[in-house]
């Protein structure tokens, strides 16, 4: 599902302790519906020295809920609308001013996104042949048994 915020967008925080702060999006975490904004929601962490790092007190950005940020256009926050063009491309458009923010995907050539019927008919037969081949390999392994010879000590 498309998100209203992408990496590199300048956003403003609309809710929480950091309300009103702005900055570019460094990272979007879609599984958790969170974003990391540069210079916002800074947390300090005491790091123990290791072979890789010297240790000390490290300040870094912590994630913010995605719903608490909005993109900025000309210094004012805006909502985002998704529009599909005539050629099939999908773009993100700012509601305030109607400016294009980015392209979600390029033009489509009229084909459906799903697999074609000919490829779906061919795939089950391949699975059957793989299963049959694996059964043959197992049966060959069962027939070949190594026999150890016992020797008498003199």
Quote the pTM value.
0.60
The per-residue pLDDT for range 89-110, each reduced to its tens digit, is 888 888 887 777 777 777 777 6
Q: What is the dihedral of CA 125, 130, 135, 141, to 10 degrees?
A: 160
Bridge-based pairing state of the strands 80-84 and 90-94: antiparallel
Encode 9-61 in three state secondary structure. Answer: CEEEECCCCCCCCEEEEEEEECCCCEEEECCCCEEEEEECCCCCCCCEEEEEE
Q: What is the DSSP letter of 131?
A: H
Length of the chain (residues): 154
Question: Is residue 145 very low, low, confident or very high in pLDDT (cuts 50, 70, 90)?
Answer: low
Question: Per-domain residue ranges for the chain?
Answer: 10-48+57-105
Q: What is the pLDDT of residues 42-70, one digit of tens each?
A: 999 999 999 998 889 999 999 999 889 98
Between 3.30.2320.80, 3.30.470.10, 3.40.630.30, 2.30.30.30, what CATH number should domain 10-48+57-105 receive?
2.30.30.30
């Amino acid at each position: 599902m498309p998100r209203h915020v992408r990496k590199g967008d300048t956003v403003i925080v609309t809710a929480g302790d950091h309300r009103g702060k702005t900055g570019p999006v460094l990272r979007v975490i879609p599984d958790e519906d969170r974003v990391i904004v540069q210079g916002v929601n800074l947390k300090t962490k005491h790091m123990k020295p290791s072979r890789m790092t010297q240790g000390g007190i490290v300040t870094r950005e912590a994630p913010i809920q995605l719903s608490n940020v909005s993109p900025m256009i000309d210094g004012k926050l805006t909502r985002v609308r998704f529009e599909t063009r005539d050629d099939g491309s999908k773009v993100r458009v700012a509601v305030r001013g109607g400016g294009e923010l980015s392209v979600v995907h390029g033009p489509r050539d009229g084909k459906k996104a799903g697999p074609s019927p000919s490829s779906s008919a061919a795939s089950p037969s391949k699975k059957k042949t793989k299963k049959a081949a694996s059964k043959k390999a197992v049966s060959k392994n069962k027939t070949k048994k190594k026999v150890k010879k016992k020797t008498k000590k003199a």
